[in-house]
């Protein structure tokens, strides 16, 4: 009887017939005030209408008059759980199980309680017993799926949701749950289909609208994502996660005011909810307001010191402040609390500490725990590439297309992806996807594409378009150049530039280096020699000072720019090296720092007004040496075969690997690394000492100063330090 009452209330809660059902139970109670089935029914009616105190009172009355009635104890457990009295609820479920060890409803209620209180493994056991007793119990299969999903056993969870749908094919909750785990498994198209099916079955399903919006956001479909998320909060203005997801969407589109407005909506619903406080922390951190981020995080941790996401965020803020050891400890604690991203974050902090083997193991563990998480796979691939395991590293690097921090709006094509097969005259679009330096580094593969029988169409940024025309494959007529953003000519296949090393199975020993593969235009170079002096003021006549190019700052929008870039003032110890004409290759706002340099040093502005990198390459052709941080200038110089010293932070970019001073990508490059994070003084001190030796070895008559330009014999025979 009690089971029937429970099912009746569940059904009417969707149809608005609670009053009618309540009247029926009230009539029964007028005839017999102690009728236990009616008391149970009334408790469930009160529960469905969120009258928790009344629900507990009715259920308590039921167990008082019928202490041997197991489902009265189940009803009491349900009402106590809803009232937040979890310990009492567990005792009530336990009493029902004491009366009947296979009571399916008691096992289900206890399973739900154990999920809510962070015991998913125990919860799974309770649901398994419930469906063993009643194999056709749809809610039991859904509950077991939920427990397995919390445990990260997504394939098993999906099977349980599918079983629930086999038992009840038009169940919106089943389609919704299947969509959730399919998204976790990286099956985004199928997940979207399931969410949409749930919404066809139940158009007012706010959580499904929210998850669909979040999924669309992850795919870069912002307009549709925003519409779905707005529909979710329209249906459920109290849906805090909906407002938080809207804030995230606006933040990613660089609309901070709108993001903040959505966060305020979330905060208004419940100022004490930790998830909202963590979202505020993330927002302030994204706005580079670490002090504000810490304020929100302290509030969150005060509310719930064991909140896994808050503790993970603590690690992120510590990492951002360079407190790497403390960050590792925070990430370890977040892992123990079940945070899925913490192991990968710990790996990144360990990398900064130079604990490379431990970092690799942390990233491997992150992928073992969540193989479909693109961020975990991507971070592991970078660590593998950094440590020389290129075979696995290039393969995992393809996860960048699913990782929004790398590609927020991945390009899509009707043409298939080229995967290395023989081309037989087919045309392959090789498209730039990241920074200018990446384009310069990987454009060399156009020649290898031609060797497979194809015609390469290089789609590149405007800043490198003229320079790319010096590629041997372009000059030979087996490659074409087209601007990024313009419609390319007809092509048969497509491939991102940074996917080519994986296709060609590039290893440290097989990096393609046919020699310098980019060159300056001779006429441009001839003009450049007169735009910057080649005689230093007060220098002894007859001896030409070295012409050394400098670049000290990269794109400030790059995530790790703070680590790789420095201010011009930091260069002072190097700039005082005698016998050097320093020529700035710097572009952008950092070039303005030249005006504030001290009077005892001088750097000529050689590049701030360059229209593109073809002009910069022309200037490089007139130089003896290039000294640069990790910017596109390093790649231009390396691709031209110019001597280049690349100044790197303690943890440089993955392409420069670790603990080596040369690179197979550019044989004329020398890598000078910080010994400790932030120690540019040590790097520049070493560079100054080596510069004196380099200069002494390069002294020669001034008449031979112009070297390294096409059409002129180079007298540059001095090897770089190794």
Tokens 């971070």 correspond to what residue? 379
Band (pLDDT 50/70/90 cuts) for residue 2 is very low
Round to whole Å and give the CA distance between 331 and 348.
Answer: 10
CATH annotation of 2-216:
1.25.40.10
pLDDT at 509: 94
**SS3 letters across 206-259:** HHHHHHHHHHHHHCCCHHHHHHHHHHHHHHCCCCHHHHHHHHHHHHHCCCHHHH
What confidence category does residue 538 fall into, taking pLDDT thresholds of 50, 70 and 90?
A: very low
**Would you state the pLDDT for residue 703?**
39
Report the CATH number of the 522-704 domain.
3.40.50.2000
The DSSP output letter for 402 is G
Q: Which range, of 385-389, 576-580, 625-629, 637-641, averages the lowest pLDDT?
A: 576-580
Query: pLDDT (tens digit, 9 = 90+) per residue, 250-292?
Result: 998 889 999 999 999 999 999 989 999 999 999 999 999 999 9
Cβ-based burial of 589 (10 A; exposed 0-12, middle 13-18, buried ≥19) = exposed
DSSP H or E segment with residue 81: helix 70-82
Task: Check residue 218 and give its pLDDT.
Answer: 85
Q: Look at residue 722 in the predicted model and tell me its pLDDT.
A: 28
Distance CA 261, CA 137 (A): 43
Biggest CA-to-CA distance, the chain? 119
- Domain pair 2-216 / 306-402, same fold: yes
Residues in the chain: 722
Cα 703 to chain centroid distance, Å, stands at 54
- Pairwise CA distance, residues 644 & 523, whole Å: 23
The CB-based long-range contact list for 538-541 (8 Å cut-off, 24+ gap) reads 539/579, 541/702
pLDDT of 708 over the 60 cut:
no
CB 309 within 8 A of CB 287: no
Greatest mean pLDDT range, 36-40, 49-53, 318-322: 318-322
Tell me, what's the pLDDT at 531? 77
Q: In which residue are the tokens 């390069």 written?
A: 698
pLDDT (0 to 100) of residue 565? 86
Torsion angle, CA of 465/467/468/472, rounded to 10 degrees?
A: 160
pLDDT band at 532 (very low <50, low <70, confident <90, very high): low
pLDDT tens by residue, 321-379: 999 999 999 999 999 998 989 999 999 999 999 999 999 999 999 999 888 889 999 99
Contact indicator for 649, 674 with CB cutoff of 8 Å: yes
Report residue 404's pLDDT band, with 50, 70 and 90 as the boundaries.
confident
What are the structure tokens assigned to 651, written together? Answer: 């943890």
Section 564-590 average pLDDT: 89
Residue 516 in contact with residue 639, Cβ under 8 Å?
yes
- Note the pLDDT of residue 29: 66
Express each pLDDT in 607-634 by its tens digit.
Answer: 888 999 999 999 999 999 999 999 999 9
Please give the class, per CATH, of domain 306-402: mainly alpha
> How distant is the alpha carbon of residue 211 from its chain centre?
19
3 state SS of 455: strand
Domain boundaries, the chain: 2-216, 306-402, 427-503, 522-704
pLDDT bracket for residue 159 (50, 70, 90): very high
Kindly list the strands in the beta sheet with 603-605, ordered across the sheet, starting from the edge strand earlier in the chain: 603-605, 580-584, 546-551, 625-629, 644-648, 669-673
Point out the least confidently predicted range of 25-39, 295-309, 364-378, 614-628. Answer: 25-39
Average pLDDT over residues 452-462: 96
Q: What one-character DSSP code corresponds to residue 407?
A: -
Name the residue with higher pLDDT: 717 or 183: 183
Residue 45 neighbours by CB distance under 10 Å:
26
35-44, 196-205, 239-248, 642-651: which range is least confident on average? 35-44
Report the distance separating Cα 331 and Cα 314, nearest Å.
8
pLDDT at residue 62, as a whole number: 80
Q: What does pTM read for this prediction? A: 0.81
**Does an H or E element contain 603, and which?**
strand 603-605
> Phi/psi zone of residue 602: left (φ > 0), alpha (ψ -120 to 50 degrees), beta?
beta
H helix or E strand, kind and range, residue 647: strand 644-648
Return the closest-CA partner of residue 256 out of 283, 225, 231.
Answer: 283
Chain centre to alpha carbon of residue 276: 21
Q: Give the phi and the psi of residue 193 in degrees, each rounded to 5.
A: -60, -40
Q: How confident is the model at residue 138 (pLDDT cuts 50, 70, 90)?
A: very high
Between these two residues, 598 and 203, which has the higher pLDDT value?
Answer: 203
Q: What is the pLDDT of residues 77-111, one digit of tens each?
A: 888 888 889 898 889 888 888 888 888 888 888 88
pLDDT digits (tens, 9 = 90+) for 161-219: 999 999 999 999 999 999 999 998 889 899 999 999 999 999 999 999 999 999 999 88
SS3 assignment for 683-704: HHHHHHHHHHHHHHHHCCEHHH
Identify the band that residue 38 occupies on the pLDDT scale cut at 50, 70 and 90.
Answer: confident
d(CA 135, CA 222): 42
* pLDDT for the residue 545: 83
Would you put residue 322 in left (φ > 0), alpha (ψ -120 to 50) or beta? left
Q: What is the pLDDT of residues 625-667, one digit of tens each?
A: 999 999 999 999 999 999 999 999 999 999 999 889 999 999 9
């Amino acid at each position: 009887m009690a089971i029937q009452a429970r099912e009746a209330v569940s059904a009417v809660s969707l149809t608005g017939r609670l009053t009618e059902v309540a009247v029926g139970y009230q009539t029964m109670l007028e005839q017999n005030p102690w009728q236990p089935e009616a008391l149970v029914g009334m408790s469930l009616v009160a529960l469905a209408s969120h009258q928790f105190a009344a629900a507990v009172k009715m259920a308590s009355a039921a167990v008082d008059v019928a202490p041997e009635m197991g489902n009265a104890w189940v009803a009491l457990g349900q009402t106590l759980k809803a009232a937040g009295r979890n310990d009492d609820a567990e005792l009530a479920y336990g009493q029902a199980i004491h009366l009947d060890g296979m009571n399916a409803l008691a096992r289900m209620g206890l399973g739900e309680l154990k999920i809510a209180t962070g015991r998913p493994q125990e919860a799974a056991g309770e649901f398994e017993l419930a469906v063993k007793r009643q194999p056709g119990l749809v809610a039991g299969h859904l509950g077991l799926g939920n427990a397995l999903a919390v445990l990260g056993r997504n394939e098993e969870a999906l099977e349980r949701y599918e079983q629930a749908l086999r038992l009840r094919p038009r169940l919106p909750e089943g389609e919704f749950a299947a969509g959730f785990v399919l998204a976790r498994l990286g099956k985004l198209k199928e997940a979207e289909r399931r969410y949409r099916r749930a919404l066809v079955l139940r158009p007012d399903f706010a959580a499904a609208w929210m998850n669909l919006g979040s999924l669309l956001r992850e795919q870069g479909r912002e307009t549709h994502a925003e519409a779905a998320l707005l529909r979710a909060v329209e249906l459920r203005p109290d849906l805090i996660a909906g407002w938080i997801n809207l804030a995230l969407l606006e933040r990613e589109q660089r609309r901070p005011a709108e993001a903040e407005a959505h966060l305020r909506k979330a905060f208004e619903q419940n100022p004490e909810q930790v998830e909202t406080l963590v979202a505020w922390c993330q927002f302030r951190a994204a706005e580079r307001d670490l002090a504000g981020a810490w304020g929100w995080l302290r509030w969150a941790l005060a509310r719930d010191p064991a909140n896994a996401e808050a503790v993970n965020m603590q690690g992120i803020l510590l990492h951002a402040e360079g407190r790497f050891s403390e960050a590792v400890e925070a990430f370890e604690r977040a892992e123990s609390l079940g945070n899925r991203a913490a192991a990968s974050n710990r790996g990144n902090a360990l990398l900064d500490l130079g604990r490379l083997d431990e970092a690799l193991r942390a990233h491997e563990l992150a992928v073992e725990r969540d193989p479909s998480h693109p961020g975990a796979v991507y971070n592991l691939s970078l660590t593998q590439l950094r440590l020389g395991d290129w075979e696995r590293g290039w393969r995992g690097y393809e996860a960048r297309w699913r990782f929004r921090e790398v590609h927020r709006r991945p390009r899509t094509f009707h043409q298939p992806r080229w995967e290395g097969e023989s081309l037989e005259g087919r045309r392959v679009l090789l498209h730039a996807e990241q920074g200018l330096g990446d384009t310069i580094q990987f454009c060399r593969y156009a020649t290898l594409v031609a060797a497979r029988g194809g015609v390469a169409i290089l789609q590149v940024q405007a800043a490198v378009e003229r320079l790319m025309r010096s590629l041997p494959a372009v000059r030979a007529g087996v490659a074409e150049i087209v601007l990024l953003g313009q419609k390319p000519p007809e092509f048969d296949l497509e491939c991102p530039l940074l996917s080519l090393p994986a296709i060609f199975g590039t290893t440290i020993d097989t990096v393609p280096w046919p020699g310098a593969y980019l060159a300056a235009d001779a006429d441009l170079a001839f003009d450049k020699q007169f735009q910057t002096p080649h005689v230093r003021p007060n220098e002894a006549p007859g001896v030409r000072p070295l012409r050394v190019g400098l670049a000290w700052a990269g794109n400030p929008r790059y995530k790790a720019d703070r680590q790789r870039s420095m201010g011009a003032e930091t260069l002072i110890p190097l700039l005082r090296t005698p016998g050097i004409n320093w020529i700035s290759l710097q572009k952008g706002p950092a070039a303005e720092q030249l005006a504030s340099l001290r009077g005892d040093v001088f750097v000529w502005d050689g590049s701030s007004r360059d229209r593109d990198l073809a002009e910069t390459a022309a200037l490089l052709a007139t130089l003896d040496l290039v000294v640069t941080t990790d910017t596109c200038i390093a790649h231009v110089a390396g691709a031209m075969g110019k001597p280049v010293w690349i100044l790197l932070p303690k943890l440089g970019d993955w392409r420069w690997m670790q603990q080596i001073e040369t690179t197979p990508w550019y044989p004329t490059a020398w890598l000078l690394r910080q010994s400790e994070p932030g120690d540019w003084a040590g790097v520049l001190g070493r560079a100054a000492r080596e510069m004196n030796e380099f200069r002494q070895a390069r002294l020669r008559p001034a008449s031979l100063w112009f070297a390294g330009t096409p059409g002129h014999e180079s007298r540059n025979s001095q090897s770089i330090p190794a």
